[in-house]
A and B are shown apart, each in its own frame.
Chain A
Amino acid sequence: MRIKKINSINKLLVFTVVLLLVLSAFLAGCGSKQSSESNKPAESEQATDSGKSDSNQSSSESSDDVIRIGVYEPMTGASAAGGQMTVEGINLANEMFPEVLGKKIKLFLVDNKTDKTEAANAVSRLIQQNKVSVIIGSYGSSLSMAGGQVAKDAKVPVVGCSPTNPLVTLNNDYYFRVCFIDPFQGKVMAKYAFNTLKAKKAAIIMDVSNDYSVGLSNYFKQAFVELTGDKNAIVAEAKYKTGDQEFTAQLTGIKDLNPDVIFAPGNYGESALLIKQARDLGIKAPFLGGDTYEAPEFIQIGGQAVEGVAFSTHYTAEAPVTEVSKQFLDAYKQKYGKDPTAFAALGFDAYLVARDAIERAGSAEPQAIRDALAKTQDFKGATGIITLDENGDANKSAVIKQVKDGKFVYVETIQPDK
């Protein structure tokens, strides 16, 4: 009797575990509940050759009435604030400049849920279902890389707003971006650590599931080692994953090594928790990060702990660079009643660059838009003058900001290397 009972418990538990594993497989795709959609990227790969003439046809069909522009951004999940800020900028630009080639521009927004699989699905949905001519997105380099492959196969151009990892555009002739890239951003922060903070030893904490964080950490490391001339200038490299909330184990190890500065690029939510836990453990070294820190939630979650944290970003409302910057700033304040962040400005610029390319191409045909995008030169955007190089990257200045009294405060502008 007793054995029988244990057996039945055992069976139930084994079943539960199997279920759990299935569930966690879903989780690994972070809630990609539309499993039927996960086949789509593969479908689009097959459809590339045969589907090209198809998509041309359909785009000429649909181009009669409107020009279709797709947007894929994280509206939910760990990067939701970043995606939402970007979309604010895109919507604003769409309101201010709603037409091109005498036709109305129609935006299609798909949430990529801060998930790589969903990002690939989102792009194929925009291409196959909504028949868009050009795509804008996405916040987050990992998401952009996942989506970029699908767009490349379907030969539809994408204009990235804020993915800064170099691999997003490398070997992808259809991906462009209006922001600077991480080798530059890493160097800017390494210089700030070395020159301004006089740091000799640095620790790095990176999110290993986030290409942005890993890439930026490596560029920081290279630049910092070069600046100090000390091969052992990086005393520790700690790792965590997106979604982690407990960082005390990594931080306790770092505290023991006593670095002068800690570089910890990553999602604003995790980073704010991490810095909070570091301060609770009594770590006094200044924290540095990248452009993802710029979200109001970073300060709300981190509170007193994130005071003094410095990071690099793309734009500041305090030092407008072009005529368009002022225009953007005024319109944004009027519409949303607050100061814009860099991501809103980049979303705004990405839309304008895409619209400009459609205008110069004189058609809504994806290939023509791609060719026009590649020739973008001296375009005056809200974040600066945008010239796309042979990789499709913009060579732009960076801005350093710092958290002071619960606000992001402008520190300095750093020009790119010529």
Chain B
Amino acid sequence: MTFELFLQHLINGISLGSLYALIAIGYTMVYGIVRLINFAHGDIIMLAAYFVFFGVGLFHMPWWLSALLSIVLTALVGMGIEKAAYKPLRDAPRISILISAIGVSFFLENFGIVVFGGRPQAFYSPKVFQGVIKLGNVSIINLGIIIPVITIILLMGLVYIVNNTRTGMAMRACSKDIDTAKLMGIDVDRIISFTFGLGSALAAVGGIMWGLKYPQLHPLIGIMPGLKCFIAAVVGGIGNIPGAMLGGFILGIGEILLVAFLPGLSGYRDAFAFIILILILLFRPTGILGEKVAEKV
């Protein structure tokens, strides 16, 4: 394998990893605050992509407006789901709320099949995102640069909100102890709602980016990204925001290099992700960056 070839594989891996990271951040933030693994996260991604699809295709809105609207709508849907499916179970055992999340996930998938139809559709992507940059024999798609940049900007923004704002302080308080936070005068419902809104907005950005990179859209499109990004979040240390990013990159680059070096195993790339998950849980259950800040956000 020449260096150029290796570089191309690495770039492919970073491009995939940054997409995983982007989605994993939302996953991990919601877990950090409410200690709930939101299994519907992947399906929220799917909804966001469909919102853009309909905005452009049905209502003929400009692309950027559909994307913005999609982010807002998805955030509202996320808050709605929290109110309907998670809030009534807040005092129930944690398993109940987890099962409720799985229920929401199945509901959204089948809702998608009924309403949007099961036939895969093409996701519209504007010219800006389609170009390719060539460095000698190595090609980088524009999205391969845009997505990591967006991921890092959102990551920094999120860390800033959590650590430096009043809402962020309230979020951290909720993550430590909800009852005490209530006693301190924090409006817990509002904070949790805000967390879900923010998480879903992040999912929407992830969904739109996913659609731009892989412009094939169907109602089950969110399942695999949802699972992979959950793994990424666990690998990095669930609840830890920079950890989710690290986990995403490890998973993305690992998958690409597995197929690159062992082409015979390319059918097992999803299994690879699950094996990593099992190994991490066996030997370092708090994840790579988990121990230091597991109890913070």
Give the interface of A toward B (CB within 8 A). Answer: 5-6, 9-10, 12-17, 19-21, 23-24, 27, 31, 33, 75-78, 80-81, 84, 111, 113, 208-209, 238-241, 243-246, 248-250, 252-253, 256, 269-270, 272-273, 276, 280-282, 297, 300-301, 303
Smallest Cβ-Cβ distance to B210: which chain A residue: A245
Tell whether, in the assembled complex, residue A209 and residue B267 are in contact, meaning their CB atoms are under 8 Å apart.
yes
Per DSSP, chain A at the interface is helix
Q: How far is the CA of A113 from the CA of B9 in the complex (A)?
A: 34
* Chain B residues, Cβ within 8 Å of A248: 12, 15-16, 256
* Chain B residues, Cβ within 8 Å of A209: 267
* Chain A residues, Cβ within 8 Å of B230: 20
* Chain B residues, Cβ within 8 Å of A252: 5, 8-9, 12, 260
* Chain A residues, Cβ within 8 Å of B227: 20, 23-24
Q: How far is the CA of A81 from the CA of B255 in the complex (A)?
A: 30
B285 CB within 8 Å of chain A: yes
Tell whether, in the assembled complex, residue A6 and residue B294 are in contact, meaning their CB atoms are under 8 Å apart.
yes
Q: Which of B82-102 contact A (CB under 8 A)?
A: 94-95, 98, 102
* Chain B residues, Cβ within 8 Å of A81: 119-120
Tell whether, in the assembled complex, residue B294 and residue A19 are in contact, meaning their CB atoms are under 8 Å apart.
no
Other A-B contacts than A12-B35, A239-B264, 19 sampled, CB-CB below 8 A, are: A15-B98, A20-B227, A20-B230, A77-B218, A80-B117, A81-B119, A238-B266, A239-B266, A240-B267, A246-B16, A246-B256, A248-B16, A249-B255, A249-B258, A250-B259, A250-B266, A273-B216, A301-B122, A303-B215
Tell whether, in the assembled complex, residue A10 and residue B285 are in contact, meaning their CB atoms are under 8 Å apart.
yes
- List of 8 A-B pairs having minimum Cβ-Cβ separation, nearest first: A76-B118, A300-B122, A249-B259, A248-B12, A80-B119, A245-B214, A301-B122, A10-B285
Q: How far is the CA of A10 from the CA of B237 in the complex (A)?
A: 11
The contact of A246 among B2, B137, B255, by CB within 8 Å, is B255
Tell whether, in the assembled complex, residue A76 and residue B113 are in contact, meaning their CB atoms are under 8 Å apart.
yes
* Chain A residues, Cβ within 8 Å of B216: 245, 269-270, 272-273, 297, 301
Q: How far is the CA of A349 from the CA of B62 in the complex (A)?
A: 44
Smallest Cβ-Cβ distance to B123: which chain A residue: A301
Q: Given the known A-B contacts A24-B274, A238-B263, A249-B12, are A17 and B120 also in contact in the complex, defined by CB atoms under 8 Å?
A: no
Question: What does the 1/0 interface line of B270-283 toward A look like (CB < 8 Å)?
Answer: 10001001100100
Q: How far is the CA of A245 from the CA of B15 in the complex (A)?
A: 13
Q: How far is the CA of A282 from the CA of B256 in the complex (A)?
A: 18
B139 CB within 8 Å of chain A: yes
Give the interface of B toward A (CB within 8 A). Answer: 2, 5, 8-9, 12, 15-16, 35, 37, 94-95, 98, 102, 106, 109, 113, 117-123, 132, 134, 137, 139, 141, 214-216, 218-220, 223-224, 227, 230, 234, 238, 255-260, 263-264, 266-267, 269-270, 274, 277-278, 281, 285-286, 294-295
* Chain B residues, Cβ within 8 Å of A238: 263, 266
Tell whether, in the assembled complex, residue B260 and residue A77 are in contact, meaning their CB atoms are under 8 Å apart.
no
* Chain A residues, Cβ within 8 Å of B109: 31
The A/B interface has a contact count, at CB < 8 Å, of 142
Tell whether, in the assembled complex, residue B267 and residue A241 are in contact, meaning their CB atoms are under 8 Å apart.
yes
Q: How far is the CA of A126 from the CA of B25 in the complex (A)?
A: 46
Q: How far is the CA of A176 from the CA of B98 in the complex (A)?
A: 48
Tell whether, in the assembled complex, residue B5 and residue A6 are in contact, meaning their CB atoms are under 8 Å apart.
no
Q: How far is the CA of A166 from the CA of B238 in the complex (A)?
A: 49
* Chain A residues, Cβ within 8 Å of B277: 17, 20
Tell whether, in the assembled complex, residue B294 and residue A75 are in contact, meaning their CB atoms are under 8 Å apart.
no
Tell whether, in the assembled complex, residue B267 and residue A208 are in contact, meaning their CB atoms are under 8 Å apart.
yes
Tell whether, in the assembled complex, residue A297 and residue B8 are in contact, meaning their CB atoms are under 8 Å apart.
no
Q: How far is the CA of A327 from the CA of B259 in the complex (A)?
A: 50
Tell whether, in the assembled complex, residue B281 and residue A33 are in contact, meaning their CB atoms are under 8 Å apart.
no
Q: Given the known A-B contacts A9-B294, A16-B37, are A256 and B259 also in contact in the complex, defined by CB atoms under 8 Å?
A: no
Smallest Cβ-Cβ distance to B5: which chain A residue: A256
Tell whether, in the assembled complex, residue A19 and residue B218 are in contact, meaning their CB atoms are under 8 Å apart.
no
The contact of B234 among A13, A27, A241, A269, by CB within 8 Å, is A13
The contact of B102 among A10, A19, A280, by CB within 8 Å, is A19
The contact of A9 among B102, B266, B285, by CB within 8 Å, is B285
The contact of B263 among A21, A239, A246, by CB within 8 Å, is A239
Q: Given the known A-B contacts A13-B281, A31-B220, are A300 and B121 also in contact in the complex, defined by CB atoms under 8 Å?
A: yes
Can you report 15 residue pairs joining A to B where beta carbons are below 8 Å apart?
A5-B294, A5-B295, A6-B294, A10-B285, A12-B94, A33-B106, A76-B119, A111-B118, A208-B267, A246-B214, A249-B9, A249-B259, A280-B132, A297-B122, A301-B215
Considering residues A209, A244, A249, which has the most beta carbons from chain B within 10 angstroms of its beta carbon?
A249
A26 shortest CB reach to chain B, Å = 9
B75 shortest CB reach to chain A, Å = 25
B281 shortest CB reach to chain A, Å = 6
